[in-house]
């Protein structure tokens, strides 16, 4: 998500320089906020299998703090490369873990989530690597508008960046909540003859998981425990509202991947020319 932490470069306190003291980057305010995001993310993952409300609360706070650490980095002049990497790694890991859960909750669409995970990781890694290697170590948020206007707007406008990232996360959170609440997307694993299906919140048409499964952590038991635990109205609204933004965010990921690939290829061509490659073999064929 959006983060001013991503702007490379570390600001120093003049008084600390005069006194010859080294700054502790790990104790910078934005990096402390980043560390708290990691703690909240782990908490959300712990509650993710069976406690949707607690998980959603912790996960959402972690996402919203992503904007706060960027503001703190700019306000206190504490933008660091460590903070930029911590921010990106946290974003990628939390989103990946959520989509891994969704792949298990909706196995029919697991290949879609696997593709989205791969696209997210590949596009951000290649963009970061291309920026660091081809952009003289500049921030990956600094995009030349001549390369791609959409990418330039995405990274240069904090409101656009924050909105797209927030709505993208909202889409997957809504889908996560629907795995607990929608009989349409996540029907009960087993149906009883007397009551073929239950559409009433909190009343799944199956016995308690403990009656049917020896292990409460088995896939079947967890699927049954999740069924119809909450109302699906609000998650459906959030899903529909955030869907266009999620689609645009995935388009930007594709553009980011393509642009980074072309940039790296241009660098390879320039490097080969500098080295005089391919070398002429004086008309002799190599064996």
- Mean pLDDT (whole number) for 172-177: 94
At 282, is the pLDDT very low, low, confident or very high (cuts 50, 70, 90)?
Answer: low
Share of the chain above pLDDT 90, in %: 40
Backbone angles phi, psi at 22, to 5 degrees: -85, 140
pLDDT digits (tens, 9 = 90+) for 56-99: 999 999 999 988 988 898 889 888 889 888 998 999 999 999 99
Active site residues: 91
Q: Which of 231, 234, 207, 232 is nearest to 221 (CA)?
A: 207
Domains of the chain (ranges, CATH numbers):
4-187+214-263 (1.20.120)
Contact 151, 143 (CB under 8 A): yes
Calpha distance 123→252 (Å, rounded): 9
- Give the chain's largest Cα–Cα span: 86
Contact 23, 16 (CB under 8 A): yes
pLDDT of 10: 44
pLDDT digits (tens, 9 = 90+) for 91-130: 999 999 999 999 988 888 999 999 999 999 999 999 888 8
At 179, is the pLDDT very low, low, confident or very high (cuts 50, 70, 90)?
Answer: confident
Neighbours of 192 (CB within 10 A): 13
Calpha distance 126→124 (Å, rounded): 6
Q: Which of 7, 11, 67 is nearest to 37 (CA)?
A: 67
């Amino acid at each position: 998500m959006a983060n001013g932490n991503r702007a490379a470069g570390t600001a120093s306190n003049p008084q600390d320089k005069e006194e010859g003291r080294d700054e502790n980057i790990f104790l910078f305010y934005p990096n402390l906020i980043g560390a708290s995001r990691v703690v909240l993310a782990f908490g959300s993952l712990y509650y993710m299998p069976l406690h949707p409300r607690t998980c959603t609360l912790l996960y959402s706070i972690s996402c919203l703090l992503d904007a706060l650490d960027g503001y703190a980095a700019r306000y206190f002049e504490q933008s660091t490369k460590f903070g930029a990497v911590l921010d990106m790694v946290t974003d990628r890991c939390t989103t990946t873990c959520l989509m891994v859960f969704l792949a298990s909750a909706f196995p029919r669409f697991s290949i879609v989530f696997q593709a989205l995970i791969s696209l997210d990781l590949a596009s951000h890694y290649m963009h970061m690597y291309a920026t660091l290697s081809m952009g003289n170590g500049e921030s990956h948020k600094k995009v030349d508008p001549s390369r791609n206007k959409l990418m330039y707007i995405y990274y240069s406008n904090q409101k656009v960046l924050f909105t797209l990232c927030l709505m993208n996360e909202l889409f997957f959170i809504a889908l996560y909540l629907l795995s607990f609440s929608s009989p349409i997307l996540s029907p009960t694993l087993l149906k009883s003859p007397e009551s073929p299906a239950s559409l009433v919140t909190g009343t799944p048409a199956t016995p308690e998981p403990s009656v049917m499964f020896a292990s409460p952590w088995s896939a079947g038991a967890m699927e049954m425990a999740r069924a119809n635990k909450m109302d699906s109205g609000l998650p459906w609204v959030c899903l529909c509202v955030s869907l266009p933004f999620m689609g645009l965010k995935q388009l930007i990921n594709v553009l980011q991947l393509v642009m980074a690939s072309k940039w790296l290829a241009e660098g390879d061509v320039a490097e080969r020319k500098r080295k005089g490659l391919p070398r002429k073999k004086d008309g002799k064929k190599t064996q």
